Each structure stands twice: as structure tokens, then as C-alpha cells.
Structure 1
């Protein structure tokens, strides 16, 4: 594989990052995405790189020693009673983020995968790197939260910053606010965080207001675009595109780290934004273009949320890789040309799916029922966008 080609960080073992059988964070989505890309002829073996476990020193860049100790202790098949009693203090006893056997080992590998992506890009070994197993953006310094035990995104940013002295722009497109990453670098002027998400008035984690802007020398480097429930493609892309383009031009990062939760899709069961697959093509296209314009191409992309694992995640994450690796098929996709998914993939997964799988890459949005308050939502988002851009640094 040429050095100038993007890399895909993946280990099937990452599906072991799984809380329990009934939890919405279902890692079968990773298997389905990789299978879709392979059946589309878009993921050659030469593009693959294995993650390696993060070291304790790397975890300590973004997590407190006591928290790491607790995660390790609660990773035992039968944790000691004293650690079970302590689980609540570290956010590891909730329905969202319950401790599980082997938790430290597998999450350290997830973190290591994102650091591997950062290392490959920052060293010049690859222009872009994708690690779909990553994107656990809610974990805080001393607390697990929102399905996230360790924060691999923060660890990858810290690696790029500390090892290479890089100015890092973090772009979070998950429908839930990227709170863990924001707070990790809230006072750090070398890291700019931008998150577009459903307003926290109605959705976890309840943060990400437009007036969260950073502190001290870093004021203006925390940018939040909380959009309204039932926001659709046009309004989402307007807000995202204008703010990101201006942010990159002002901040002038050395590298872009992006988180690609795909739960802003209309089918996602845990949120209320109403985007289609069009967003998951247009959004990485813009990031890709800006990375080449401002960062000499340096782009590290991570996975994230996404809870309709059948109809949404495989297509959205595959589109991200198709854009990143400049596959010819991406040029054939537009609203008028509904290119079909590989029949072999549909045949392989339809029998397992509880819903009818879509058979095209993009959604037939013309057939969707219109949102009644479209204009009101668009205007409110436009106001939020303008406020978000007021103090860009």
C-alpha cells in the first residue's frame, strides 16, 4: 500500500467493547460496516492496521490515576466488594455505563487504536486515518458516562499535541454534545473543540450551550452549535458548513480530529434530529476538503454513537471511508442517482435484521413526510449559528 493512502484501524476484537446483550451500544455495527465496505470492494487488506493497547501513561494524559485504578479493579470477572461499592463514584454503575468483565483491557485497545491513528497521520505515514471503534467522547477525567469508559478522542488529541506540538481542531458531529473532549481542553488554547448536536434542553448530556466558549487564554476555542429537534439536512449542513469553514480559517489547525456519531439520522431511536444519509456524505466531504486546504491533508476520524445499527450506521460509516479514501463510487451518489447497495451485503444481513434494510446508499427523502415547523426550526438554528460564530478565535 502506498504511503499516501489512508488507513483503516480495525480489530474484530473491538466488538468486545459491549456492556450487555440488551444495551443500545451494539458493536455488531462494526462488523456490518466492515462487511459492507468489503462487499463494495472498497476496503482492501492493505488499508487495514491493527490497534494496540494504550499504555497507562497514555491513559494518564486524560484520566485520573484513581479512575484508572477503579476501571481496572471493576474489570475483574468478580470484582471485590469494596470496588463494587465505589463504582457509583466513578460513574460505572449506571444503566448507560455499567462495569463489565475485561472492561479495562478492551477499552485500552480502543484508546490505543485512536492513538495509532494519530501517530500514523502526525508522523506522515498516512494522510488520513479512520478508527470506527473509537469516538467515546463522553468519558470524563474521573468518570465514565454515556456508554464511554475511557475517552479515546481526548487521548488521541493529547498525543498529537504533546508528541508533535500540534494545534488540534476537534470536530464532533454526534447528536449528543462532545462534552468529555470539550472539558478536557476547555482551558487549552492549543485545542479547539467544535460540536454540532441536538440542544441539551432535551437530550443527554445536557451541556453544549452556545455560551460555553472556553476559559482564560482558550476563550473562543470552544464552539457549540446546539440545533433544534427535528432539524433536517439543509439547516444542519448550513450550520455545520459555515461554522466549520470559518473556524478552520481562524484557528488554522495542524490536524483535524473528527468524531462521527451518526445518531442525528431520522431513524435513530435515541434522539430527535431528522437528517438523512445525505449529511453523512456531505459532512466528511467538507472535512476532507478543509484538511487538504489548511492541514496538509492531516485528518484523523473516529466513530461514535449510532443506534439504528441496521439502516443507518453501516451506510453512514461506509460513506465516511468512501470519501476519505476517494472511492470512485462516491462520485456516483447524489439525490437523483440512487445507487444500490451490494446485493451480497443485503442478502447476508437481511435475515438477521428486525427491519427492512434500505437497498440504496442514500435515503429517498422526497418520500419522507415533511416536518411541520421546518421554517421555524431553520430560523432558530440560523440564530444559534450566528451566536456560535461571535467569538471565534
Structure 2
């Protein structure tokens, strides 16, 4: 491990605040996500980004000056990381809505949860273009919230895990190209951030940290996996609760960031760790996710806050809207106004776990604190991970 990380850090009672307050926080999204679907039986059949956009507007939390429409990345921008033949294949798949079998196998398109659908190029290319734009927007400091970002499984030459282009990698490349040489990528999705780790495993300028559920697809990211030296992985047992998330934040994430002293933090905020999510077995509420975002975005002058996994539309809408409030230091009301409540009430979710939610979910944004025991296996894993340098 390079000498970027000190041997130990004492956590101060009051965190430093490296944010630049004169630069307004901005949100990047686009209308392409409204109505776009991976198919009726796919976990990403649900609305996500459009719900977040509608919620923050309904709450009066964003205006035209702070809401930015994300661009579609050009093929030239995409090939900063992705193989040109792969980019052309995704474009061909959108044009023809089909590919020859040999190309589907080679590029992972139309296979293994990565369907060919009408916007197969434009939708992920918009997420990629938005991360590139966001990196430019925070070049002098500030925070950008890009809820459609966080497609962390995308590989250089193939689709993987519902991800076609790896927008976190492209955003980090843009930050590095601007002259930065200490970027912290922190991934709290239920699934291992494998694509980002692979991209930067030998790059001393980027420290990738992933906390994920153990034994969940892609079943990588063991605690002893430090890649080329610049990766840290914290596989968590199923059943993680809010008190355990708070423990990991204060015992590991914050000390690590204070030690690394990043010039920029890229935070992947997959919320498939929420207890209502159908694709994980974690038991978090959204308040502990907001705590992580609030603390980590204080620790660098630049932050790019991405989305990621999240397969309950109610969970995504409430969690990511609350992230926007958190990074803007907006007080979240106890009861939602009717126009915001109605956005949640009209959601239709056909998943087998898409049962009618409790009424409190429609009328509030914050979950009750879902605390519990900090298990010894959680403490032991954090201790082991600290051994690789904190």
C-alpha cells in the first residue's frame, strides 16, 4: 500500500468541514429515465430517478438554477474507459433492437440480466455523460447529486450486473484529468463495486472502498482483497442494521477518509441495503444512509454523490430524495405535504415483494431508526480491515 494512508487517526469529536459553501449544490438528471424500463419482469422495470426528481420538486427543494439536464456521452468520451468495439455494439443494439448471438455472448448484451431494450445506449450513456459533466462542475469545489449514476459493475468490454457503461469510472477519470491525485471512491451498495475496483486497482491516485453484503452477486470483494493495493473491501453479514452502519461509519469510513485526505469523494449510494429491498437481506433504514452521506461529504472540497442499486421504488424515492436534503442541510419534515405523498401513493410495483406498503411510508420521508446489536462479526471485520492501513 502506498504511503497515502497514515498508520492511525484519532477521530475528532467534531468533524472538519471541507465543503466550499459558496458553490451551490446541484442535481443532474434527465427525462430519459421517465418511462424507460429494462422490461416488465426485470428488477429495473420500476421508476427510480423520475420519482426522486418529482419528489424534490414537490418539496420545493430544487429550482431551475440548481437542476441540470445531463447530456448523452459521446462515443469518444465512453472510450476513455470502454473498448471501442463494445461501445459500437451497444449502439448497434439500440439501433437494431437485436444483435447476432456471437456478439451477445461476447459483450454480455441481451444476456444475464442485461437486456436489449429501446434506450440501451442512450440511457446508460446519459448516466455516463452526467458523471463526466459532474466532474467538470466540481472542478473548483462543490457537490453534485447524480441519482442515475452509480453503475459500478460495468466492465471495459462487456455489460455486467444491469450496468452497460461504468459512469463512476468515467467521472473519476475526468477528476484525475483535471489534475487531482487523491480521489476516494466509497461504495455502500449491497453489491460489491467490482467494476470500479478493477479499473483503478493499480492507480495510486484512487482508493476504492466497498461495503457490501457477503455472498451476494458478484460474490467478489473479500476482506483480504486489496487488488493492486488501492482497494478496501468490507463484506457485511446479512441482517445489517442502522447501528452497525453507524459503527462502520465512525470506526472505519471517517478515519480512513481523514487519513487519505481526498481532494474529491465519489460516493455510490445504492439503497438496496434497505430492509424493504427485494435483492438483499440487509435491514437498514434510510436515516443511516443519510448519516453516511452527511458525514462523508464534509471530508473533501468536492463530492460526487451517485445512486446505484435500489429495487423498491418507494425505498429509492424516499432515500435518494433525503440524500438531496442531507447534502443541502435541509430539514426533513415529519409529515410529507400532500403533493409529495401523492407521488408515492400512485406508484405501481408488480414485484413479488411489491405488496402495499404501510401507510407511514406514504406520509413520511425518513424511516424510523432500525437499530440493533452491533454483532461481534461486524466488529471483527472492521478490526481486520484496519490492519490493511487506516
Cα shift readout 1:246-303 (whole Å, capped 9, x = no counterpart)? 2212222110011111110111010001111221221111112222xxxxx2111111
Name the structure with the higher helix share.
Answer: 1
The match for 1:128 among 138, 143, 148 is 143
How far apart, in 2, do the equivalents of 1:273 and 1:157 lie? 28
The more displaced of 150-159 and 54-63 is: 54-63
**Structure 1 residues 278, 343: closer, same or farther in 2, change over 3 A?**
same
| SS of match in other structure, 2:305 | strand
1:352 Cα deviation from its structure 2 partner: 3.5
The match for 2:289 among 263, 280, 296 is 280
Alignment check: 8 A CA contact 2:322 2:366 kept: no
Alignment of 1:12-23 (within 5 A): 12-15=31-34, 18-23=37-42
How far apart, in 1, do the equivalents of 2:231 and 2:201 lie? 7
Cα shift readout 1:314-373 (whole Å, capped 9, x = no counterpart)? 11101111111121x14x6xxxxxx1122222224414445235122222357xxx97xx
The answer to whether 1:5 aligns with 2:24 is yes
The residue that corresponds to 1:105 in the other structure is 122
The residue that corresponds to 2:382 in the other structure is 385
How far apart, in 1, do the equivalents of 2:279 and 2:25 lie? 32
| SS of match in other structure, 1:21 | coil
Cα shift readout 1:86-113 (whole Å, capped 9, x = no counterpart)? 1112111324112223322232121000
The residue that corresponds to 1:77 in the other structure is 96
**Structure 1 residues 365, 191: closer, same or farther in 2, change over 3 A?**
closer
The residue that corresponds to 2:169 in the other structure is 154
Alignment of 1:3-82 (within 5 A): 4-15=23-34, 18-26=37-45, 28-79=47-98, 81=100
| SS of match in other structure, 2:223 | coil
Alignment check: 8 A CA contact 2:23 2:142 kept: yes
1:27 Cα deviation from its structure 2 partner: 5.2
The residue that corresponds to 1:234 in the other structure is 243
Alignment check: 8 A CA contact 2:55 2:343 kept: no
| SS of match in other structure, 2:235 | strand
How far apart, in 2, do the equivalents of 1:195 and 1:340 lie? 33
Alignment check: 8 A CA contact 2:97 2:117 kept: no
The more displaced of 379-388 and 340-349 is: 340-349
The residue that corresponds to 1:294 in the other structure is none
The answer to whether 1:96 aligns with 2:113 is yes
How far apart, in 1, do the equivalents of 2:386 and 2:81 lie? 28
| SS of match in other structure, 1:87 | helix
**Structure 1 residues 18, 347: closer, same or farther in 2, change over 3 A?**
closer
Alignment check: 8 A CA contact 1:262 1:304 kept: yes
The residue that corresponds to 1:323 in the other structure is 326
Structure 1 residue runs without a partner (length 5+): 292-296, 333-338
**Structure 1 residues 273, 147: closer, same or farther in 2, change over 3 A?**
same
- More relative contact order in 1 or in 2 (CA 8 Å, sep 6+)? 2
Alignment of 1:167-182 (within 5 A): 167-182=182-197
The more displaced of 350-359 and 148-157 is: 350-359
The more displaced of 182-191 and 158-167 is: 158-167
The match for 1:347 among 336, 342, 346 is 342
**Structure 1 residues 151, 27: closer, same or farther in 2, change over 3 A?**
farther
Cα shift readout 1:42-97 (whole Å, capped 9, x = no counterpart)? 1122111121122223212221222212212222234353xx43111211132411
Cα shift readout 1:179-213 (whole Å, capped 9, x = no counterpart)? 110111011111000111111x2x11101111111
How far apart, in 2, do the equivalents of 1:96 and 1:349 lie? 27
Alignment of 1:182-193 (within 5 A): 182-193=197-208
TM-score (norm 2): 0.87
How far apart, in 2, do the equivalents of 1:249 and 1:66 lie? 41
TM-score (norm 1): 0.86
The answer to whether 1:264 aligns with 2:273 is yes
The residue that corresponds to 1:336 in the other structure is none
Q: How many residues align?
A: 361
| SS of match in other structure, 1:45 | coil
| SS of match in other structure, 1:103 | coil
| SS of match in other structure, 2:171 | helix
